[in-house]
Structure 1
């Protein structure tokens, strides 16, 4: 009997694991120290149709160049659509793993390291992504003269260097040049954006400004900033937008299910470190986005970004720092209704240029018709057909429409593709912009993280105005996190900022936009005494937070510690403020209802 059981077990193991295959890439000529782009592409394409495959890389530094890379035109959300060179095109695989074994994958020029599309159960682990030359141009101030508003910079531009033509500085890259486009000033001591960084924005060439190349490493700028930057200031410049600075993301997940990223480091990217769209279930563990030792900056855009996903997104045990945009952004998309064509069909348009080409919906998805004036839902229905016309426009056919079509400008929002989010034990710091942007209708838990950002710590928005990022949240718990020196860009940002973004033509509707948000038991080290701003929220609980005074930045703020506009069912309870020398208040508009403010220390209601 025992022999029969053993035989059955072995048969079971063979059926489920017998086809698993680990491939040592060195057997296919893929070895450290040389360009392996073509060999990797040929190996991956030879494995099409096989399941349970692991590509194992003996530890080393592998080089990837664009000349022999696979190329195709790709629409990548929140990036610039274009022809992309791709080193690892993982398309249509099941149970596929890349195990770098501690290796560095080193890239050159405009090349996208990894694209995972239409795949299931993909694991990326144990490797580092770097570029020979960063996409962020770095300028460190080594001399200054406030009388003539000038400064001398050391240009960290690697072997490519820079040149000056027609009073304009041009940064040389692999096969292109960057002008000064978007830019921001950092403090070399804190490695974070400098206090009141907008004062030091590089305005670019003008009749009053002048730039001069002094030698191969230094240049002098005159009248390029409102205020002369202090010695030690480091400028990050990263090209014009759109079309000039988001063209080479590090990892792109698209229309895939059950993706795992484990123990991966990204030192640079010409866009985001990780961008995921239309994916179900993503686990990110020990993901590090940081600058290399000889650089101040990492990626040109966000560390992680998720658009139109569903299932569960987990981000744990990760370090996200020194990037030129947000730590994490989770949202959907509002698309414009251009015209109702009859027969339950709408002509729709992608709202933002860097969302062009997204898959907004497929048959079976539940969608809501939205007022573009109040961004509140008007009618829910189900998609029966989506027909793409081009990158910007598509036809959307639904099962039912209102008996009378609503008047005014309209949008659609996809209600099916809204993920749950769990964030724990992450550090997000020293970056331009926010720590986290969260606009998903799924269940969200953010606990035991550290945030220190130039702008808001956590932004819960909803935007039918600029980026068109939906939508209203329903269940968010933010607890046991640490927020330190939030808003050091201007001193006017909050650890928690909630509220939809409106144009002058948009306005609040009769219903509240967000609901059920809990901000509890967080530790906040603050120089300005700000805690939370909320607009159009129902069921907001701010409780048990500990706010202590920090001397790291100039103290004080003209803003209220808690600012409430058009909210209902709000509880502000048992929060303690320590060592602040000025009054801290809760300010409310006349339309706030059912507010309870009690048992707080150092906080009063205005």
Structure 2
């Protein structure tokens, strides 16, 4: 095995100099190597700035859709076209600056990441802790890396300055989205932002005076951010056999881990949790793990998921609406959710299933094999990013009517194991699962999720996240202090055409201080 040491390529383990170009050069060499190879990141702290990092034009599910302003992604560690590569960083701390993807695996096979930690120096997410409050005022404190200035009765937030002298990001007051976290209980909930309503004055010690009476919210942390998901925090696309093992993920910008049209993913012993020394609590800008149209085996085991801005784990496919019929075997399919577009949803040889959007019923579903695909390639704008034309191996029935039907790539619907994880501080769902493989959720702790602990959905009209569950066992989990159902089965069909989901077993779970029905099914 050939070993490529980032220090040999010029990386600085003291963190005083930018190591981005050295990391990029190391990964390029390792990816071009014949035979097994290892990228070694020795113990130390490495500063990774965006100006010299790799860049790729990419379309990513569940983020910014076809918005050309965000097509170019900056990537600190890029593995592309590699086979049998290990990235080892025991004792290494990677500190990212600006807005970028921490790591990406594209068109690769058997890639393992292990041992290091990832954090961002100054995220575009502001956490304001209320340190004191009175009848009509409150004083807030923010982490030391958050830059701010007062503009009349407004606060202007700024990221750190880039190498060109301008801040990487700016924002005002409550930004676009707010949730509140209580460090005393660990509870996190979505909320309206009370900090910047009716402001009379702001003082230099970050005391905000109001023209109205306020509630005493001392100790609460208001977590504020933009809503543009310009980068995935980590990205896995058209790859097989990727493993993330024994990592410390302190924060991920833009999104969490996004897996797209890949197979056989393992996430094991990864701690998604902010570094308490930073004064931050949030570890992800959105979901922690979102797997869109994955195949093979997905294993998420022995991890900690603590405080995100959306679901902890989301495993789903994608429904594309049948927009046109060109002939008996050829249809035009369309992405309908604005966050998802621009990448291929099918390959020749994949199996497609067409379902009625109103009923989502298995009994009327139609299956075929993809022969040809003409659509977006995931990298540029040479094709309409929303539509693709597919030809299948059999004549489609005449009652497959445009707009009334949707298509899912069922060659990418994995077997899933989610086991031994702690999920806490989540404002939404602990696990959202819509996969038709053999799925087991066992031995996890769901601590006070804001919505269902486990949500089995299925939706061809809103989020367009497919598909049916056929074999799911939920056992030996503990659900604590939930104010929503622990297990919610709720497909969005509007017509009863028979069961959408089947084969679900819920057994030997423990429910502690949960106020809603433990299991609420609509199959």
TM-score, L = length of structure 2: 0.89
Alpha-carbon distance between aligned partners in 1 of 2:504 and 2:325, rounded to the nearest angstrom: 36
- Matched with 1:499 is 490
Distance in 1, matches of 2:342 and 2:457, equals 23
Are residues 1:267 and 2:250 paired? yes
Contact 1:135 1:268 survives alignment (8 Å): no
Partner of 1:24: 5
Using a 3 Å threshold, how does the CA distance of structure 1 residues 55 and 371 change in structure 2: closer, same or farther? same
Alignment-derived partner of residue 126 in structure 1: 115
1:177 to 152, 170, 181: 170
Measured against aligned partners, the alpha-carbon deviations of 1:308-353 in whole angstroms (never above 9, x if no partner) come to 0111001111101111111101000011122112252222211212
Is residue 302 from structure 1 mapped to residue 287 from structure 2 by the alignment?
A: yes
Does 2:336 match 1:351? yes
Q: In 2 relative to 1, CA 386–141 (structure 1 residues): closer, same or farther, beyond 3 Å?
A: same
Q: 1:397-476 to 2 correspondence within 5 Å?
A: 397-407=391-401, 409-452=404-447, 453-476=449-472
Q: Do 1:129 and 1:250's aligned partners in 2 also have CA atoms closer than 8 Å? A: no
What are the equivalent positions in structure 2 for 1:40-119 lying under 5 Å apart? 40-50=23-33, 51-80=35-64, 81-119=70-108
TM (norm. structure 1) is: 0.78
Secondary structure, in 3 states, of the residue corresponding to 1:354? coil
Displacement of 1:383 in angstroms is: 1.0
Mapped partners of 2:207, 2:38: distance in 1: 47
Quick one: distance in 1 between partners of 2:179 and 2:305? 18
Which residue among 481, 495, 499 is the counterpart of 1:512? 499
Whether 2:522 is the aligned partner of 1:531: answer no
Alpha-carbon distance between aligned partners in 2 of 1:220 and 1:93, rounded to the nearest angstrom: 57
Q: How does 1:163-312 map to 2 (within 5 A)?
A: 163-165=149-151, 167-174=153-160, 175-179=168-172, 180-193=175-188, 198=191, 201-202=192-193, 209-210=198-199, 212-215=201-204, 217-220=206-209, 228=215, 230-239=217-226, 241=227, 244=228, 246-293=229-276, 294-312=279-297
Higher CA-based Rg: 1
Instruction: Tell me the distance in 2 between the aligned counterparts of 1:98 and 1:133.
Output: 25
Relative to structure 1, the CA distance from residue 530 to residue 220 in structure 2 (aligned partners, 3 Å threshold; closer, same or farther) is: farther
CA distance in 2, matches of 1:423, 1:111: 28
Structure 1 match to 2:147? 161
Tell me by how many angstroms 1:157 deviates.
Answer: 4.5
Higher relative contact order (CA 8 A, sep 6+): 2
- Taking structure 1 as reference, are residues 373 and 167 closer, same or farther at Cα in structure 2, changes over 3 Å only? farther
Write the distance in 2 (CA, Å) between the matches of 1:229 and 1:332. Answer: 44
Distance (whole Å) between structure 2 residues aligned to residue 335 and residue 302 of structure 1: 22
Pairs aligned (count): 493
Paired residues of 1:335 and 1:350 also in contact (CA < 8 A): yes
Q: 1:191 touches 1:296 (CA, 8 Å); kept in 2? A: no
**Residues 220 and 91 (structure 1 numbering): CA distance in 2 closer, same or farther, change over 3 Å?**
farther
Unaligned regions of 5+ residues in structure 2, if any?
Answer: 65-69, 161-167, 376-382
**Residue in structure 2 matched with residue 381 of structure 1 by the alignment:** 368
2:357 maps to 1:363: no
Corresponding residue number in structure 2 for 1:340: 325
The alpha carbon displacement at 1:235 in A equals 0.5
Cα distance change, pair 343–109 in 1 and its aligned pair in 2 (3 A): same
Contact kept in structure 2, 1:332 and 1:417, CA below 8 Å: yes
Q: CA deviation at 1:469?
A: 0.6
1:561-584, Cα deviation, whole Å (9 max, x unpaired)? xxxxxxxxxxxxxxxxxxxxxxxx
Per-residue deviation, 1:264: 0.9
Q: Does structure 2 retain, via aligned residues, the 8 Å contact 1:314–1:422?
A: yes
- The residue number in structure 2 matching 1:7 is none
Go from structure 1 to structure 2 and tell me whether the alpha carbon gap of 1:211 and 1:384 turns closer, same or farther (over 3 Å shift). farther
CA distance in 2, matches of 1:346, 1:472: 22
For residue 248 of structure 1, report the CA deviation from its aligned partner.
3.1
Q: CA deviation at 1:286?
A: 0.4
* Structure 1 segments unaligned to the other structure (5+ residues): 1-19, 488-492, 538-606
Structure 2 partner of 1:601: none
- Cα distance change, pair 275–326 in 1 and its aligned pair in 2 (3 A): same
Q: CA shift at 1:530, angstroms?
A: 2.1
Matched-pair contact (CA < 8 Å) for 1:121–1:257: yes
* C-alpha distance 398-61 of structure 1, shift in aligned 2 (>3 A): same
- Per the alignment, in what secondary structure is the counterpart of residue 373 of structure 1? coil
Contact 1:263 1:285 in 2 (8 A): yes
Q: Please state how far the C-alpha of 1:114 moved relative to its aligned partner.
A: 0.6
**Counterpart position of 2:67:** none
Deviations 1:110-169 (A, max 9, x none): 1211110000000000000001113321111234455xxx54242414344223447543
Greater displacement, 134-143 / 295-304: 134-143
User: How far 1:513 moved relative to its partner?
Assistant: 0.5
CA distance in 2, matches of 1:190, 1:357: 42
1:487-543: CA deviation from partner (whole Å, max 9, x where unpaired): 3xxxxx1000001125xxxx13321100010010001102415211111x2xxxxxx
Q: Distance in 2 between matches of 1:236 and 1:494?
A: 25
